[in-house]
Amino acid sequence: MSSSKKLLPDLLISVLLIISTLYYAFSYVDFSIPPFEDAAMLMRYAQHLAGGHGIVWNIGGEPVDGATDFLFMAASAALIKLGFTVGQSVRGLGFVSHILTVLIIYWTNRRINNGSISLSLLSGLYLAVGTGLSYVSAYFGTPFFALAAASTWTLGLLLIKRENPSFWLCLSFALSGLVTGLIRPEGVILASLMLLAVIVMRGLKNSVSIIIIFGIVFATLGGAYFLWRWDYFGYPLPNPFYKKGDSGWKWDSFQHSMQNALRLCLPMVFAFIYGFRSNETAKRAIAYLIPIVGFAAAFGMISDEMNYGARFQYAIVPIALMSWIPLLNGVKFNWLDQFSARERSVYLVGLVSFAVGLVYYAWIQNCFLTSFQQSCDRPYEQDGRFEMAKMLAEYRGKGYVIATTEAGLLPYYSGWDAVDTWGLNDQFIAHNGTLTVEYLDEYRPQIIMFHDYYSTLVPPKLIEKNLAQRWFSMTILMKTYAEENGYVLAAIFGDSPYDTHYYYLRTDFEDSQELIEKISEMKNYYYPTTGKRSINYAEYPEP
């Protein structure tokens, strides 16, 4: 059979995978939703970078690396400069990355792992209907990172397979690993774990040239980037690390990460277990588990906040999908020959049903993107912060400042300068460890807004145990500051007095009275966790 005829089935399956992904995307994924709260932060950075203001949180402010998806932010900004909107840029990169990753999984399994068409197709479909497109609809760059991880692992598998890999293959592996690290800082950990897996499979002696090239690339190009970012931002690590990783190892984050990894990759676990049936296959199983388990374990170093739909662990899914087929080598289905045609038909239907079940399992993960998700069709409900931000946008360009714990939708869509009081996008707060009264005095924000779990009907309990919680003590400081400095409490929005959004406004700026009226009378403030119309508890006196 000619090479073109051998290639034709794979090309047809590739087209089928693309069509299937597109059909699933436009039939089952809701692209009408606004950005998820945390995704809007990166969009703000990309917009400012594209506008020529640098990587800043507030235009005219000092550079701050709150956008940990560095290369994704830069790529989004480049597309914005070309004329695309921020939303089109972010979602477009994610969508294309998702499709490319699906294809990489199929072709890697076919050409490197020598997998059958059916198992390779099943692997591609598993990713196609998984949570990847849900991240795209929420405006996250997760599939972009997953694409880089998948590309690096593909090159790693080639290094494992080839006895004498070329210099260019070794260099490509190192450069792809570097790109993975430039997209997100934990990509350095993932790429290093992939290198370790290659070493385990090839042996240290046969991996020397790979290690040297990898080390040179990361030391030179990676080192140059590291020194540049240290000089540009003033600190060596992304700003959120100082906030989320400042209290040592976190066993709860480690546990959540391992649970997420298990849930996302559960069907492949059985192949890895089967891989321990002999010494030869056990070595491969252990090597292939290194980047999967090691990467998931690394998230014990930071808190689990902002982990929408287990997006932090998602990059291991394509790795697992490109690793499970070689562990099944030796499994034969010729035992079916001993059965009658009717029995074989039953077994065949059973196998097809099992495959459909695996794809369904991948799809069902879209039902667990948030803890408050109410249906598989829509990951989150209407969000009053989005409506509030659109109203505040009418007053942009006047030098107004909002100090808020909700640093996503409100700052991005309002266009106001913002103080992220939790510190993910504020170097002083992140490095100081907490918000201070003196820092608020520097900005004298027109609006102070925060989210916490009390109201006029359920007043906060100012006991030592509660005040020891950093979020609670922060919001109490904001509340006290507002009340002691003459701010007006315009609204306490919530569909329950136990979970609310506070809005305080100063009374001494041009549009203060107009804004107080608009906010206090807002009727379309839907609470994000339930989608229900909020009650303004500021209208109810404390008991």
pLDDT in tens, 341-381: 777 677 778 788 988 999 999 999 999 999 888 888 888 88
pLDDT score, position 514: 97
pLDDT in tens, 473-496: 999 999 999 999 999 999 999 999
Size (the chain), residues: 543
pLDDT score, position 306: 87
Assess contact for 496 and 453: CB atoms under 8 A: no
Residue carrying the six token digits 């998602």: 314
- Say what percent of the chain tops pLDDT 70: 96
- Say what percent of the chain tops pLDDT 90: 83
Across the range 92-105, mean pLDDT stands at: 98
DSSP letter string, 248-259:
---HHHHHHHHH
pLDDT score, position 304: 85
Residue 174: which pLDDT band, with cuts at 50, 70 and 90? very high
Confidence check: pLDDT of 528 > 80: yes
In sequence order, the 6+-apart residues with CB closer than 8 A to the CB of 136 are 29, 91, 94, 95, 98, 143
Q: Using a CB cutoff of 8 Å and minimum separation of 24, what contacts does 10-17 make?
A: 10/106, 10/107, 10/110, 10/117, 13/106, 13/117, 13/120, 13/121, 13/124, 14/103, 14/106, 14/107, 16/121, 17/102, 17/103, 17/106, 17/121, 17/124, 17/125, 17/128
Across the range 263-281, mean pLDDT stands at: 92
In the predicted model, what is the mean pLDDT of the chain? 93
pTM of the shown model: 0.94
